[in-house]
Amino acid sequence: MPLQLEASEKTCDDNEVLKYQNTYRMEPQNTFKTDLVDKIVRSVMNNRLDEITYDDAEATKLCGDIATEIRRRVKKLNFDRHKIIVTVTIIEKASQSVERTLGFLWDSERDKYSAFSFEGRTFHAQCSVLGVYYE
């Protein structure tokens, strides 16, 4: 005889999006702390890029690996009501100038960011971690 489930015993698939009730809370309980994120970014960038020389075939993969590691470690800090965005850029030193800009709508009271630059012998690397508040 097949098992019949009532509405209260409904199972949840991995692809199904959970819907939460409104909390009516406007402020995060664990806010984005830039000093903790700065330590993580500095640690990961220094450890991963310390003895590296620039190779254009490896730079894309290295950027993705570094961004993934930083995002994973920052998410472990459980910042409440913040989306974490990580960008990593590695540029070869070839006697050129580089200008980098990020543009977006910003809530200066709740949104925070951390930025770090690393200069190796053959490349320049930049990392930005954004903690964007969402309700």
Does residue 88 lie within any of the structural domains?
Answer: yes
State which residues form the domain around 86: 34-96+103-133
Summarize the chain as % helix, strand, coil (round to 5): 30, 20, 50
Does residue 110 lie within any of the structural domains?
Answer: yes
56: CATH: 3.30.1140.40
Residues 68 and 35: their CA atoms lie apart, in Å, by 19
Does residue 7 lie within any of the structural domains?
Answer: no
Q: What is the pLDDT of residue 3?
A: 47
Total number of domains constituting the chain: 1
Does residue 45 lie within any of the structural domains?
Answer: yes
Reported as a single tens digit per residue, the pLDDT across 76-115 is 999 888 999 999 999 999 888 888 887 778 888 889 999 9
Does residue 113 lie within any of the structural domains?
Answer: yes
The pTM of the full predicted model, rounded to 2 decimals, is 0.78
Does residue 64 lie within any of the structural domains?
Answer: yes
For residue 89, give the nearest of 50, 123, 122 by alpha carbon: 123
Length of the chain: 135
Does residue 66 lie within any of the structural domains?
Answer: yes
DSSP-H helix ranges across the chain: 34-49, 56-75
Q: What is the pLDDT of residue 17?
A: 81
Does residue 116 lie within any of the structural domains?
Answer: yes
